[in-house]
Amino acid sequence: MNKLFLTSLLFYCASSFAQFNNMIVFGDSLSDGGNFPESQKIWIDDSKSKTLSNAVPQFYVPFSNPVDTSSPAFLFTWPTLNSAMLEKQAPIENNPNPRKYRSISWPQFFLNMAEISHLIKSSVISPSNLLNTRKIPAHFSFNYAWGYAMSTENCVNPYYQPSKFCDAQSIYLARKKYKNNPSAENYKHIEVPGLFKQMTLFINDVRANKVSVDKNTVYVFWTGGNDLIVAVIALYHHWNPLPLLKFILGFTSDNILKNVSILHYSLPKEKRPNTVYVFNLFNPELTPGFRAHTVMAAVGNFAVICHNFWLKLDSKIFNFFSRSKIIVVPVYQWYKNSSENKYFKAHLGEACQMKGGNYTNPMVIPKSNCAGYLFWNSVHPAAPMNVFEAHQFFKKLISDKTT
């Protein structure tokens, strides 16, 4: 896979393409670049066994493994991260040393590839939350995705309980309160903006000239995973099939398209994008978290197939009436292909956090960088899959621009 990756990358880097100016990302923990606060805790309950279900998902944010960029494990150039444009890392509990390494999201990998191939001038992408505290050049890329975010309106807490009210100020203050005092009480009051609220925050930032966009800005939506998790929990623990039925019948897909429409009509005509990219969902049966529950994994995959069907159909209808066209990105197929690749097959269903070495030391981590692992923890991809995903999207964007 590494040789194929390098060959393809060099081929595309040697060509000349029309540039895009920046990228805006909406979604959940699969894309979050630092909006949801990183955890000091490694385990949810220190008195219980150190199992996958007891691991804190946001031990590193982005929700993936930390990487040692001095390691030659992958045949490509690691991104050079600008710490001034990233969230300050949380210390690891009971350890006086600061974290030496960061995890890297797929948007950052993608932008690095784009910068190397002169498709974009800067690969810097900042979590949108930093706009509250720092002066960031408006032409940079921004990530509005939040861990635990749903496709719905308003906000939820990390337990998916809805907030009565939230706006930019309350979201910022709740996050700040938890960062200053990471107690269980403050944690449950974190306000996670849903997709509609993320869009509102973005539009307000554009109108306040904090974020600069034009018709060449790349927009990516990737959400729905938490809608599925909430639906499965409702069925599995409360015997309530309604959330799952709504997911299967396309309610989440409808929410995504509504936000694409809001994006289109909220921007001045000269700044509206020609295309918007919407990632579909991958098969939850591939994840270590769902794989442990055979029936729920099968139900989840069926629901995802239905969601992806509606997303494709709804996008075709949307495209018929709109000048901005939705391109559905086939993430489901990418993960299926990867799961069948010998590079990942040996560790299929395993979480790198549990099987790939000790990642709890802030100063020393395995140099393998989760090589061969599809997933880092229960449901979040490891660095190799984030790289592959970024590369696939890079190729697709180039293909779309040249056809």
Q: How far apart are CA 253 and CA 256, in angstroms?
A: 5
Token pair for residue 53?
């279900």
Q: What is the pLDDT of residue 12?
A: 45
Q: Check if the beta carbon of residue 43 is closer than 8 Å to that of residue 50.
A: yes
Q: Which value, in Å, is the radius of gyration of the alpha carbons in the chain?
A: 20
More confident of the two residues 318 and 403: 318
Q: Is the pLDDT of residue 6 over 60?
A: no
Q: Which residues pair with 328 in a beta bridge?
A: 278
Residues 6+ apart with CB under 8 A from 363: 97, 100
Beta carbons within 10 angstroms of residue 387's beta carbon: 25
Beta carbons within 10 angstroms of residue 40's beta carbon: 15
Q: How far apart are CA 28 and CA 213, in angstroms?
A: 22
Q: Residue 24 is inside which H or E element, if any?
A: strand 23-27
The parent domain of residue 197 ranges over: 2-401
Q: Is the pLDDT of residue 1 over 60?
A: no
Closest CA to 230 of 382, 28, 38, 32: 28
Q: How far apart are CA 316 and CA 314, in angstroms?
A: 5
pLDDT tens per residue across span 7-46 = 454 444 434 455 899 999 999 999 999 999 999 999 999 9
DSSP secondary structure, 146-191, as one string = -TT--SSSSEE-TT-PBPS---HHHHHHHHHHHHHS--HHHHTT--
Q: Residue 295 is inside which H or E element, if any?
A: helix 294-321
Q: What is the pLDDT of residue 3?
A: 45
- Residues of the chain with pLDDT > 70, as a percent, come to 94
Closest CA to 24 of 277, 299, 274: 277
User: E-assigned strands of 33-101?
Assistant: 66-67
Please, what is the Cα angle at 35 between 45 and 256, to 5 degrees? 105
Q: Check if the beta carbon of residue 24 is closer than 8 Å to that of residue 203.
A: no
What's the CATH number where 170 sits?
A: 3.40.50.1110
pLDDT tens per residue across span 129-139 = 999 999 999 99
Query: Where residue 399 falls among pLDDT bands split at 50, 70, 90?
Result: confident
Q: What is the pLDDT of residue 164?
A: 87
Q: Check if the beta carbon of residue 304 is closer than 8 Å to that of residue 228.
A: yes
The predicted model scores a pTM of: 0.94
pLDDT tens per residue across span 227-266 = 999 999 999 999 999 999 999 999 999 999 999 999 999 9
pLDDT tens per residue across span 127-185 = 999 999 999 999 999 999 999 999 999 999 999 999 989 999 999 999 999 999 999 99
Query: Where residue 71 falls among pLDDT bands split at 50, 70, 90?
Result: confident
What's the whole-number average pLDDT of the chain? 94
User: Domain count of the chain?
Assistant: 1
Residues 6+ apart with CB under 8 A from 377: 52, 55, 57, 59, 63, 288, 289, 351, 352, 353
Query: Where residue 5 falls among pLDDT bands split at 50, 70, 90?
Result: very low
Using CA atoms, how far residue 231 sits from 122, 175, 246, 251, in Å, is 39, 26, 9, 12
Q: Which DSSP letter does residue 55 get?
A: B
Token pair for residue 11?
């081929």
Q: Which residues pair with 127 in a beta bridge?
A: 143
